[in-house]
Chains A and B, each alone.
Chain A
């Protein structure tokens, strides 16, 4: 875990929804985070410098260091922010009464569509996060998997599958990474059947996952093939 300066503690990931008392501070954080996303998309995390970030954010170096200890702390906050945004989108996509397999499918569809609309975020989470260091991926796996598991616990479903959710997560991440590298994030919805399968299979088994994957294939705006 990265240390955070005390001034950041109350801002809960700089979410626009939870504006802290110091509005200027929150908006600075927000701008810095957006700048990090933009710069990583432009030239990768490795090549990004503090100068790039402050340039994009139009703030001073001093302001940057008031908000973040260093480039890495800023990157971690950016990852958390992006994940929280995606989680909120996925949560909003399914209704309380949905059967879990259906809720997972809807959440996955919403998640991928949100990613496809934010190419820079997709690039950051799939390419940069994996190259920075393995704990980053561990960190957001820790944010996303419990959310997915929670959908099944709610329905008190026994675990009928031996498939490993951690591996499913790794597979999904790799597929998304490759799809972005191959054709850009607007082609992410092509992956829906596979990703939905991976999201359902470890919890409800192969048969249920195939069924949801087939249902998902009818959903996306872009399709691999008709039918």
Chain B
């Protein structure tokens, strides 16, 4: 991961083909192409998206594109990897914060919901559009789940409770991903942060039981 890549998400929602912010022009071609492929694919769908579309949106020449990527698919895979790495970094950072384990889990949940809400186009690209294409992309989406289970379990080992149920972390991550997926598919990604209070209760129950989870929810309010 190079530094230039980490700024992809600063390229937020569509500002229209003609209104490219001036500072972007000076950014690297690779970064522009990655941001472009996310927006074009979100708008047109995987199949309909062509390299020409990506070039047009990015304002980059065909030759430069093929120096950086093998084809449209390669470019999409690179963009997907970049987005997922960015999400993971944000979640890890939040989870490593202060407080008891349930508070830290809630911070990680908040970071996840916030990430998807901040850029519904990227959210759709990351979770929905590509997963429908083929098994390679589907495996990528599944890998997000496994990465998050690993992250939560790492934090759990450092001062978390002994769960009542062995699969508690898998249930927790499944709750987050199922909720995010549903809202993204329904074009309601922006409403995700409002689900935090209900979701933290659902997440904590398999670890702590309902009473303790309810107490946490009341405190977190």
Residues of A within 8 A of B (CB): 44, 46, 127, 130-131, 134, 161-164, 167, 170-175, 177-178, 181-182, 193-194, 197-198, 201, 205-207, 210, 213, 224
Contacts and interface: CB of A to CB of B under 8 A. Distances in A.
Given A171-B175, A181-B138, A193-B166, A162 B214 contact: yes
A126 to B, nearest CB: 10
B182 A163 contact: no
Nearest to B129: A131
Interface string B193-221: 00000100110011001100010000000
A127 B128 CA distance: 11
Contacts of B72: none
A194 B182 contact: no
B139 A134 contact: no
Contacts, number: 81
B142 A181 contact: yes
Interface in B154-183: 164-167, 170-171, 174-175, 177-179, 181-182
A44 B46 CA distance: 14
B164 A134 contact: no
A170 B183 CA distance: 12
A164 B174 CA distance: 14
Contacts of A172: 174
Contact of B209 (A127, A171, A206, A224): A206
Given A162-B214, A193-B167, A206 B174 contact: no
B186 interface: yes
Contact of A164 (B165, B170, B181, B202): B202
Contacts of A197: 165, 167, 171, 206
Contact of B174 (A175, A207, A213): A175
- Which 8 A-B residue pairs are closest in the complex by CB-CB distance? A170-B178, A131-B132, A171-B174, A194-B167, A181-B142, A134-B185, A174-B174, A174-B178
Contacts of B206: 197, 206
Nearest to A225: B166
B131 interface: yes
B145 interface: yes
Given A206-B205, A206-B206, A44 B177 contact: no
26 contacts: A131-B131, A131-B132, A162-B201, A162-B214, A163-B202, A163-B205, A163-B210, A167-B178, A170-B174, A173-B178, A174-B145, A174-B174, A174-B177, A174-B178, A175-B171, A178-B142, A178-B145, A182-B146, A194-B167, A194-B170, A197-B165, A197-B167, A197-B171, A205-B210, A207-B209, A213-B165
A30 B214 CA distance: 49
B4 to A, nearest CB: 32
Contacts of A201: 205
B178 A44 contact: no
Contacts of B131: 131
A171 B142 contact: no
B63 interface: no
B134 interface: yes
A134 B166 CA distance: 31
Contacts of A178: 142, 145-146, 174
A85 B185 CA distance: 27
Contacts of A207: 209
Max count, chain A CB within 10 A of own CB: residue among B135, B167, B205: B167
A140 to B, nearest CB: 14
Given A162-B201, A178-B146, A205-B210, 6 more contacts: A46-B47, A134-B185, A163-B205, A172-B174, A194-B170, A224-B166
Contact of A206 (B47, B134, B139, B210): B210
A31 B129 CA distance: 30
A130 B141 CA distance: 13
Contacts of A44: 132, 134
Nearest to B207: A206
Contacts of A210: 164-165
B210 A134 contact: no
